[in-house]
Structure 1
Amino acid sequence: MEVKLHDIGEGMTEAEVLHFFVKSGDAVKADDPLLEVQTDKMTAEIPAPANGRIEELLVEVGQTIEVGTTVLTMTSAVSPRTASSTEGPSPVEQSGGSKRQPSSTTVTLPKRNKPIMASPFTRKIARDQGVNIEEVKGSGPSGRILDEDIYRYLESQESEQKEASVTSEEMDGEAVQAIPSTRTSEPETIPFKGRRKQIAKKMTQSLHTIAHCTHFEEVDVTTLLEWKEQSKAAGKNFSLSAFFVKAVSIALKDYPIFNARLDEEEELIHLNRDHHIGLATDTEDGLIVPVIPHVEQKSIYKIQTEMKELTAKALNNQLSRQDISGGTFTISNVGPLKGSTGATPIINYPETGLMAFHKTKQRPAVVNNEIVIRSMMNVSMTFDHRVADGGTAVQFTNRLVDIIESPQLLALEMI
């Protein structure tokens, strides 16, 4: 007996095979589900037309098949209940003769008064968890069943089982005593308000508004570290973070598009002349971004002094509104955290770019055709693809890399 995909009356011409409930050799009863298919309008199960045994599956999961395609073959133990032969069964003889057994069967998918709306993945979750999806109440639009509805249903079932009274037992001939039900402990909660809630709103606004794009590059910081040690020996110590801030500012002079702000209503891109660099700072209460204003006018040592002051304020929750306003570009230096080799940071809306500096590791590198050990650092540049293109972002990053790898270039910029 051939079981075929039949038009269920929704104007369908094809369907995708989502899942088989049976395999070759399985015994099935009439109306048992054989497989599940997804049309452009609904998901439905193809039932067994009669009692029998599965012979061969003729299509694969994930395959899109047309109406009339044979999906499997099976032997039939009794006459089909919900099938019609493609050859047409013989009518019942008036003399009491029996029907001829059809050699090919086309199965009509059962119609529901109210189709169950759920994605194939949600249905898979229900199957894997042993949940009858018809018993689940959907919380999505028009009653659509979502993934969380399946898990919520499982939790409610588990809760009911735990709260049910436990069967009593006689102990040592004494009266039957009820065993108290067990309850799970309440989960610990963290208030979702204040700074945490504001961070969430800002990140959501950024992701929903900006066309994020990130590219990565590696930087050889060996010469910079040597230069830093030489400066320290001469009594002029500086932090790498302050150097990175200044290097970014120099690169922004050549590529001001990343120091811009897009005004969609006015259909204008504002190129900011001033470099107000934000510093992503990790605090106990969450991420905060204090701003160093007019970096283009300041030395590395002035930048370093202001960085220390702003970081101290951030950690002690003493930042003023002015300290965190007006940023035009943000830097995230996660290297000191010793745990990041790459990331795709979220832009600090309404800015256009964000540069993240990751941890430095000693790695083999080829220099002058020789393998040597160098101190290498990864950087990730995230930008608003509505404002700038990937080629320009690469050029900007290359300019920054040149300054970091050859720190003497910075001195030339100061002349």
Structure 2
Amino acid sequence: MAAVTRGSFSLLRRMLSHQYHHRGFRSDWTLKPHVFRCDTKLQLLSSRLLHTAMMFRGPIVQFKLSDIGEGIMEVTVKEWYVKEGDKVSQFDSICEVQSDKASVTITSRYDGIIKKLYYDVDTTALVGKPLVDIETESSSEVIQEEDVVETPAMAREEHTHQEIKGHKTQATPAVRRLAMENNIKLSEVVGTGKDGRILKEDILNFLAKQTGAILPPAPFQEIQTPVPAPSLFAAEPVSTPAATQPSPATPKWPVFTGKDVTAPLKGFSKAMVRTMTAALKIPHFGYCDDVDLSQLVALRAELRSVAESRGIKLSFMPFFIKAASLGLLQFPVLNASVDEACQNITYKVSHNIGLAMDTSQGLLVPNVKNVQLLSVFEIAQELNRLQMLGVSGQLGTAELSGGTFTLSNIGSIGGTYAKPVILPPEVAIGALGKIQVLPRFNDGGQVIRAHIMNVSWSADHRIIDGATMCRFSNLWREYLENPAKMVLDLK
């Protein structure tokens, strides 16, 4: 029996040695011929051990949470898309996390099996710390680089084109976002970092060679027609089928049961604390005015059916945004930013106009990129897209970052007057009240019905004086009160 056992395990050792040599491992075993005799039980044992050896996998890799950018050091895990034991491939979604700026989806860099999840749902994950352990496939090449951060705005094609030439591009999420905003394929950029990693300087150099200057973020190229839904920017509700009717945006407040409740500030609430604390350092200058929108109301009534025939809901907001952009061309100081020491001012070439949006996650301010290059209809398309993302809680970093000027539509809730707070590093913001039908005198002294909206402006008084704010407001009001004049300046 001892001879049978020795012969059985000698054969198993020879087979394992062959497997290790086949996989590139060195073996120092000395193999000697033995007489092989075994019974059925030993054959079954050897077969099972051999099967286990052939299922040998690669090393277990600690998949760390990379730097998401924007100075974010911690996020909250909102949802896991995998569990321990699940098999994943490259670019498969692993989890959704929420920072104090946006919700992002973390995707896998490796092929393998999930061995460990380091965090539970609603717990805080730290940047640079392990997120999951992945047992990689033995035949796959393990590349030690950061995980992929995918915001909802990133098209799936962004991953596809990076694999076309048969190699993987290495870049941090911040660099990927810079490339996406400038419509650059990472596969076309030569990386100068370690192991070919693409750096921020590589993107800027690529832009300089292509255009001779650094371009503003490119506007979206393709916009999917969204399902009509109640708009947070509309002046009146729109009836939709019950199947597509989203639930109203209501904040999730704690339910009081007779006891004091203490909860930590996190996510967007924590971001608001930091932003408003920075805003307190800005001396605000306020300015208010009334705008007669009677002609704009009539124009929108004519164009609304045309826009709806194209699958887009047309509210007043696209006109407000485009008029603001036309005004910023004449007063670029309102589309600028200053450094922390207030020693330098940067005039922004892109008009990335933000819209304060009331969502179930709280107050968010996504922005429409490059309004100076868009038509009123294209702005309406983008607003519809942002509104759909806001309702579903899918606004990402791409939509929430990069704003240069903001309009807050408090009138969509019912407010008339406001004192808006500037969102650093921006230097101006406007709050739009609800549109009211009020009596006004015409040129002949007769009382007529007029659609009046109040607007409240706030400006950084360190670089913007009251006269400049007033002149900008007058120009913006003139475009809206006489929308035909906008045609002369539209590009």
TM-score range, shorter chain: 0.5 to 0.7
8 A Cα contact 1:195 1:285, kept in partner: yes
Aligned match for 2:375, one of 286, 299, 302: 299
Instruction: Please say if 1:394 is aligned against 2:443.
Output: no
Cα distance in structure 1, aligned partners of 2:346 and 2:435: 35
Query: 1:82 corresponds to which residue?
Result: none
| Post-superposition offset of 1:205 | 1.2
Aligned residue pair count: 230
List per-residue Cα deviations over 1:331-390 (Å, max 9, x = no partner).
11122212x111111111110100111101111111112221211000011110001001
Cα distance in structure 2, aligned partners of 1:235 and 1:256: 31
Match runs of 1:4-403 below 5 Å: 185-207=258-280, 209-233=281-305, 238-265=314-341, 267-338=343-414, 340-368=415-443, 369-403=445-479
With the length of structure 1 as denominator, give the TM-score of the two structures: 0.53
List per-residue Cα deviations over 1:61-116 (Å, max 9, x = no partner).
xxxxxxxxxxxxxxxxxxxxxxxxxxxxxxxxxxxxxxxxxxxxxxxxxxxxxxxx
SS in structure 1 opposite 2:434?
strand
Cα distance in structure 2, aligned partners of 1:189 and 1:219: 44
8 A Cα contact 2:431 2:457, kept in partner: yes
- In the alignment, structure 1 segments of 5+ residues that lack a partner are 1-183
List per-residue Cα deviations over 1:14-40 (Å, max 9, x = no partner).
xxxxxxxxxxxxxxxxxxxxxxxxxxx
Which residue identity does 1:204 align to in structure 2?
T
SS in structure 2 opposite 1:350?
coil
Cα distance in structure 1, aligned partners of 2:322 and 2:258: 52
Aligned in 2, Cα 1:284/1:234: closer, same or farther, shift over 3 Å?
A: closer
8 A Cα contact 1:238 1:300, kept in partner: no
Cα distance in structure 1, aligned partners of 2:258 and 2:315: 48
Which residue identity does 2:435 align to in structure 1?
T
| Post-superposition offset of 1:256 | 0.7
8 A Cα contact 2:360 2:393, kept in partner: no
| Post-superposition offset of 1:238 | 2.5
Cα distance in structure 1, aligned partners of 2:268 and 2:478: 37
| Post-superposition offset of 1:185 | 3.3
Aligned in 2, Cα 1:214/1:314: closer, same or farther, shift over 3 Å?
A: same
Aligned in 2, Cα 1:266/1:353: closer, same or farther, shift over 3 Å?
A: closer
- In the alignment, structure 2 segments of 5+ residues that lack a partner are 1-256
| Post-superposition offset of 1:327 | 0.6
Cα distance in structure 1, aligned partners of 2:374 and 2:429: 20
Query: 1:153 corresponds to which residue?
Result: none
With the length of structure 2 as denominator, give the TM-score of the two structures: 0.45
List per-residue Cα deviations over 1:234-277 (Å, max 9, x = no partner).
56762201111111000100111100101244711111111011
Aligned in 2, Cα 1:382/1:293: closer, same or farther, shift over 3 Å?
A: same
Cα distance in structure 1, aligned partners of 2:406 and 2:371: 12
| Post-superposition offset of 1:232 | 2.9
8 A Cα contact 1:276 1:292, kept in partner: yes
Q: Which has the higher strand share?
A: 1
Which residue identity does 1:248 align to in structure 2?
A
Cα distance in structure 2, aligned partners of 1:410 and 1:190: 49
| Post-superposition offset of 1:233 | 4.9
| Post-superposition offset of 1:283 | 1.1
Cα distance in structure 2, aligned partners of 1:351 and 1:392: 16
SS in structure 2 opposite 1:388?
coil
List per-residue Cα deviations over 1:132-164 (Å, max 9, x = no partner).
xxxxxxxxxxxxxxxxxxxxxxxxxxxxxxxxx
Which residue identity does 1:252 align to in structure 2?
L
List per-residue Cα deviations over 1:188-241 (Å, max 9, x = no partner).
45542221111121112112x211111100000011001111223556762201
Cα distance in structure 1, aligned partners of 2:404 and 2:395: 18
Which residue identity does 1:367 align to in structure 2?
N
Aligned identity (percent) is 34
8 A Cα contact 1:280 1:333, kept in partner: yes
8 A Cα contact 1:353 1:381, kept in partner: yes
SS in structure 1 opposite 2:423?
coil
Cα distance in structure 1, aligned partners of 2:357 and 2:348: 23
| Post-superposition offset of 1:316 | 2.0
Which residue identity does 1:217 align to in structure 2?
D
Cα distance in structure 2, aligned partners of 1:315 and 1:235: 21
8 A Cα contact 1:280 1:331, kept in partner: yes
| Post-superposition offset of 1:315 | 2.6
Which residue identity does 1:216 align to in structure 2?
C
Cα distance in structure 2, aligned partners of 1:185 and 1:322: 42
| Post-superposition offset of 1:413 | 1.0
SS in structure 2 opposite 1:281?
strand
Root-mean-square deviation (CA, aligned residues, Å) is 1.8
8 A Cα contact 2:429 2:459, kept in partner: yes
Aligned in 2, Cα 1:198/1:272: closer, same or farther, shift over 3 Å?
A: same
